[in-house]
Structure 1
Amino acid sequence: MRIAVVTDSTASLPPEDVAAAGLVVVPLHVHVGGQDHTEGEGVGGISPGEVAAALRAREEVSTSRPTPATFVEAYEQAAAKGAEAIVSVHLSAQLSGTASSAESAAGDSPVPVHVVDSGTIGMALGFGALGAAEDAAAGRPVEEVVERLRRRVAASSIRLYVDTLEHLRRGGRIGGAQALLGSALAIKPILELRDGVVEPLERVRTRGRALGRLRELAEDALADLPGWADGAGLAVQHVDARERADALAADLQPQVEEEVRIVETSAVIGAHVGPGTVGVVVSPRPQD
């Protein structure tokens, strides 16, 4: 059975990875100063760097999910290319209605669609989508592809440092980190995605200590992988903070055999966490 894997642009996957894996990526929308943009490259698209610049200029920035009609179009195109089933995996339903749009569209798809709420974002979602595409290409049954995908995203961790909580507050995605608002400016928050929402993890006093703590937390996660894991994917994500990301990735590289991915976080996620954000994703890889 030919299985297509569909994800969304918050997976933050570079175009070359999308093409190599044969993924279908449905873009979310970013609204800047009243103008609507689809996330990504091309006409009408907007990049993470452009969103970071708009936030620094204090322009009004918001985001929205794809419509069900957009998903129906993606599913029809996948079927036209020979897909007999589709696995559609998306960012946490606690943060966006994207998975809901996918569910609504599934009934109008010409082939069966298995919608998966990843419960996560960024490269934690991206690694899951890439793994699902590998499993599909290896000829695994769709039920097994979905089971391995669910297991991987559930075991993945994403921890991040943000320069300010203001963007999360404005976008309504602040979750339990609301409790940190009003803290002394010298306190730097480390956040994590827990049960699909943003929650506070720790508070430290300097940016340098925050980045060092991200490294330690990633090392702890790598040392405590599930018994079913065959290593893990490791990615450092950032929003207009490449130097910080490069330094953190260099510190983490000795911990894994494969190259640590350095990925610019998607424009939609960047709109909510703001410039200067750095995050680390550890994604356990299921054994064959």
Structure 2
Amino acid sequence: MSVAIVTDSTSSLSPEDAEREGISVIPLQVIIGADVFTEGVDVTADMLAEALASFVPVSTSRPTPDDFLTVYERLAAEGADAIVSVHLSSKMSGTFDSAVLASKQASVPVTCIDSTQVGIATGFAAGRAASARDAGEDVVGVAEAARRAGDSSTVLLYVDTLEYLKRGGRVGAAAALIGSALAVKPILTITDGLVVPLERVRTQAKAIARLEALAVERAEGCDKGFDIGVQHLSSLTLATAVASRLAAALELDSIGVDEVGASIGAHVGPGMISVTVTPRC
């Protein structure tokens, strides 16, 4: 059986990684002011950061069911007998719902997986699906590999302000108000598919140090190894330093650093740093 893997652009897979692993990526739309852009095609993180800093309205739009169906049918025409479609948390976006609607019209069976995550955690889940496929697993095994990766991932985020998450409805208003009132630097995580406050720290330096400590603790608890990555928005120097310190602490040669795509960046704002740890199991 030939199993194809699909994900969306929030997974932060580079075109090179997606091609190497045989994963099709469906882009989200990013709306800046009155202009509509396609993630991964004609919008950059710099454009996004500039718009956010200038208080230009920024929002995102999920792919339509037709967008998914077009890709599903192309893969079927290319010889896929089944498809596993792995996407960001359904509680943060309607992308998963579009995939489900399209799956009902596809000419081959499509299994839609809600990774319950965002960013490279979703990318790691799609990558695990691809690895399972390449190892000869059937569609059930491929889907289960993606599901396990999403369920077991830990995403830790530092944001300069909760304002952008509050605007997009990605974190509760009460949490945003607490952060503002106490002038703290929040550390966030993903729980049950939602962004939730994890800890409150007084300064950026302490927040970053705590973020690193939590990431090391999580990684060291993975008996069979782990995948790890650092992401940022307009904070390359800080993200590179975080990755370097984590690599040293975990005795790794290096840790990848990527800038988040515009669809995630629109909700976290400039200055965001995240670390994702996905156990290998």
TM interval, shorter chain, is over 0.9
Match for 2:109 among 87, 90, 112?
112
Q: Aligned partners of 2:251 and 2:18: how far apart in 1?
A: 23
Q: Aligned partners of 1:256 and 1:92: how far apart in 2?
A: 31
Match for 2:59 among 62, 67, 73?
62
TM superposition shift of 1:184: 2.8
| Residue matched to 2:5 | 5
Q: Secondary structure at the match of 2:239?
A: helix
Report if aligned partners of 2:90, 2:193 keep a CA contact under 8 Å in 1: yes
What letter matches 1:61 in structure 2?
A: V
- Give yes or no for the alignment of 1:283 onto 2:260: no
Q: Aligned partners of 1:118 and 1:273: how far apart in 2?
A: 19
- Give yes or no for the alignment of 1:204 onto 2:201: yes
Deviation digits for residues 139-195 of structure 1, max 9, x if unmatched? 11110111121111100000100011111111111137345343233x111111111
Summarize the Cα distance change of 1:152–1:178 in structure 2 as closer, same or farther, 3 Å threshold: same
Match for 1:240 among 224, 227, 234?
234
TM-score in terms of structure 1 length = 0.94
Runs of 5+ consecutive residues of structure 2 not aligned to the other structure: none
Q: Aligned partners of 1:140 and 1:179: how far apart in 2?
A: 47
TM-score in terms of structure 2 length = 0.96
Runs of 5+ consecutive residues of structure 1 not aligned to the other structure: none
| Residue matched to 2:27 | 27
Report if aligned partners of 1:11, 1:125 keep a CA contact under 8 Å in 2: yes
Task: Figure out how many residues of one structure are paired with residues of the other and give that number.
Answer: 279
Q: Aligned partners of 2:274 and 2:49: how far apart in 1?
A: 16
Q: Secondary structure at the match of 1:115?
A: strand
| Residue matched to 2:265 | 270
Q: Aligned partners of 2:254 and 2:103: how far apart in 1?
A: 36
Q: Secondary structure at the match of 2:148?
A: helix
Q: Aligned partners of 1:257 and 1:19: how far apart in 2?
A: 26
| Residue matched to 1:253 | 247
Q: Secondary structure at the match of 2:157?
A: strand
Q: Aligned partners of 1:91 and 1:222: how far apart in 2?
A: 22
Q: Aligned partners of 1:211 and 1:257: how far apart in 2?
A: 19
Q: Aligned partners of 1:95 and 1:256: how far apart in 2?
A: 34
Summarize the Cα distance change of 1:256–1:134 in structure 2 as closer, same or farther, 3 Å threshold: farther
Give structure 1 regions of 4+ aligned residues with deviation exceeding 6 angstroms: none
**What is the root-mean-square deviation in Å for CA atoms of aligned residues?**
1.3
TM superposition shift of 1:257: 3.8
Q: Aligned partners of 1:99 and 1:161: how far apart in 2?
A: 26
Q: Aligned partners of 1:283 and 1:263: how far apart in 2?
A: 16
